[in-house]
Chain A
């Protein structure tokens, strides 16, 4: 009972200093719960097709990432409790308590913190589920009827996941306390030795870190064929390791070098804050590296989401190039089709082109597609003119070929030079790949290659020539009106093969990408919030340790204003270093994405970096004033 009382008292007295951590823990629970709730809710049921399936996979992946994040966050938070408590625990040892008892007290106390954050997190989580779903759907631009309904399963899953993780760390802390010696406990907060790290090791870390980091950058943007997937994966691993080594090696080495240059060091407050940065760096470099990686993830997530959205819109646009496409073995159907359409709709533009359908066995390319067709350069040029599409392709030479492909959501092939295409024994060198939708939706179904007119004539005997008649109507949403008229010409006869394609602009076949986009934005915000608050919390705690030092400086007669200046430099370093390293690394990751997604992401890069900058600036300013208070520089 008395043990319980003591723990409760401890919890009460330290409530204020743990509040920041509890709120952050509650926040992660809230986010996790919201995603879990999405899995068990039926709001995406209405989208139909593969959408629900993809969205579920997406949310599972995100939940996993969030779970990992929660794990590390808990690790970090419980460590803060442990070191902070260990100092006081030393006192209990002198009061005659055994390690086991102290450990039990620690467990009771941390369990209280854990349960409070669960209650907070689940409570606010439940309140926000409706809001979260509304926002998610609004940003995704999806209209689904939602009802506010919370099932018990996601709540239980969230609590279970959280408590299991929490328990692991509480037990870890318990074992740590039971095993530690009295001396160690008393001096847990007084490990001020080794201010300066061994220069030799730092140098090794520096060189290694820079090599690893830059090889990561190089791999990320290196163009290549199928090895790109491996490269990207290696780049991610290398950059993460590189960032850790950078903060563990290069940056301390740099600051220690500053500290050795006394003429540079003895400039106003510099003497004070550079030495403090060196001192803190040894303890904090993991935190800096972690926030840096987190921010890097968030920027990449946002850029991915944005690129996906752009690609999605491109694909919709691509598909809607023509409303109707007629593919027929008969030539000269143009006027007939036109008159059929014009019964119900007015045509905005129309074009026709012949395609030479070849048997796939004649082709030898890097990838095997199911159907191949060859186009002639001059016909497509005419088609482009009639439809108003751009056409800047040079006429290919006799052994050259142009690939006319579809838009891909993501392509791992970033190097497409020197592609070879072999048709019926003749090898062509692929000069360009275009994804202008000359043949609209058909381009998604058939792989087209464009050759010059002479080559086209040469290939003609090898396959069958088909004719495409392509129309776009004024009101694409009225596509259904002409459907029945067009059905009259569709035929499956041997001598007259005619097929039609009707494009529905409302198709929700790939709606899940919209959800992905929103989820990416959301992840961006969560990660940014997390990295900002991790840094903030770290500095918040550090401030208490600095109190003694600032007290000495005040005793020496150094003005509060000077001290504040010094500490604001110090905190600026803590925020700016991860930010700058992130900015550099994100440039490469976004650049790599740009290449895979064929989308310009510079705006997103600058935008997200800007958002982080503003958020960090706010955190920094808050930190400075809170730090000054906690360290006793200001009342």
Chain B
């Protein structure tokens, strides 16, 4: 655990609503993510998962608290630098892929890098390398409508990885996939994490997906209620997560 801290959250609070009608969604969250960790945040509906991710990805501003990304407090930097920070330090994977249907998969993957002004040759090399790693070699010239959901999501993962971000936020990445495609995607994510190429924060309600992470945080009613760490075996970890879910009750979806 001597790796550099990538993300540090201190006493994060988020209120919604106007005066007199406050709803506190996040009630003081503390979290630390170090380089090369793979964390899953789980929780039932309304526990604040999406809010947390919105705050982390700078789409929303917290009511109180600090979010330090690579040592920088992202809640207090001006908008102009914010977009630069999002561009350079964060990679996103969404539930609904969000690939652009106007361009080929390879163009989609290369887009963030080419927008950063990296040379064409480097973009091609990296897009191809990642595509191959994610088993998309034969599909790079296809358009999103020609691909299956799993292929699209793996493509989206490549796009998130291409800029070598400090951290990847994955929002229910398997939410729209069948179990086979989910497994392929998670294996891929695990592989890039294992090879030391990515730090991942995944939000999910699915125990199976969560079992691919190294650590699982359970978010409940705006607070982190417990943390589970993977042992040697993924299956055993999966059982522990489902047991935990069962003991907490509530609606995990």
Contacts and interface: CB of A to CB of B under 8 A. Distances in A.
A279 B144 CA distance: 13
Interface residues of B, number: 34
A560 interface: yes
B101 interface: yes
B123 interface: yes
A558 B115 contact: yes
Given A275-B102, A552-B100, 11 more contacts: A195-B101, A262-B123, A264-B120, A266-B113, A266-B123, A268-B117, A269-B115, A276-B102, A553-B100, A556-B92, A559-B83
Contact of B112 (A263, A558, A560): A558
Interface string B98-132: 10111110110011111101111101100000000
B250 to A, nearest CB: 29
Most buried by A among B87, B92, B101, B118: B101
Nearest to B121: A263
Contacts of A279: 102
A562 B111 CA distance: 12
Interface in A269-295: 269-272, 275-276, 278-279
A557 B90 contact: yes
B124 A263 contact: yes
Given A557-B86, A557-B90, A549 B114 contact: no
8 contacts: A195-B101, A195-B145, A259-B107, A262-B107, A262-B123, A271-B110, A552-B98, A558-B115
Contact of A262 (B57, B87, B124): B124
A555 B94 contact: yes
B4 interface: no
B227 interface: no
Most buried by A among B86, B98, B100, B159: B100
A16 B123 CA distance: 43
Nearest to B124: A262
Nearest to A190: B101
Interface in A176-210: 192-193, 195-196
Contact of B114 (A196, A266, A552, A555): A266
Given A265-B120, A266-B124, A555-B94, A271 B102 contact: no
Interface string B79-95: 01001101100101010
Interface string A51-86: 000000000000000000000000000000000000
Most buried by A among B84, B87, B106, B115: B115
A267 interface: yes
A262 B143 contact: no
Contacts of A269: 115
A266 B120 contact: yes
A222 to B, nearest CB: 43
B102 A195 contact: yes
Contacts of A276: 102
Contacts, number: 87
A555 B102 contact: no
Contact of A270 (B92, B101, B114): B114
A296 B121 CA distance: 42
Contacts of B123: 262, 266
A271 B111 contact: yes
Tell me whether chain A's interface is mostly helix, strand or loop, or mixed: helix
Nearest to A553: B100
Nearest to B101: A192
B92 A268 contact: no
A278 B143 CA distance: 13
Contacts of A262: 106-107, 110, 120, 123-124
A557 B98 CA distance: 13
B42 to A, nearest CB: 23
Contacts of A268: 114-115, 117
A275 B105 CA distance: 12
A271 B114 CA distance: 7
Contact of A265 (B107, B112, B143): B107
Contacts of A193: 145
Contacts of A556: 92, 98, 112, 159
Contact of B102 (A270, A549, A557, A558): A549
Contact of B100 (A196, A275, A278): A275
Interface in A518-575: 549, 552-553, 555-560, 562
B61 to A, nearest CB: 16
Nearest to B156: A556
Most buried by A among B94, B103, B119, B145: B103
Q: Which A-B residue pairs are the 9 nearest by beta carbons?
A: A557-B86, A263-B120, A559-B83, A266-B114, A266-B123, A275-B103, A279-B102, A266-B120, A552-B98
Contacts of B94: 555
Contacts of A558: 83, 87, 112, 115
Interface in A402-435: none
Contacts of A263: 120-121, 124
A144 B103 CA distance: 63
A272 B111 contact: yes
B115 A562 contact: yes
B243 to A, nearest CB: 35
A275 B121 contact: no
B143 to A, nearest CB: 5
Nearest to B122: A266
A272 B145 CA distance: 18
Contacts of A196: 143
Contacts of B87: 557-559
A262 B101 CA distance: 18
Contacts of B107: 259, 262, 265, 271, 275
Nearest to B116: A268
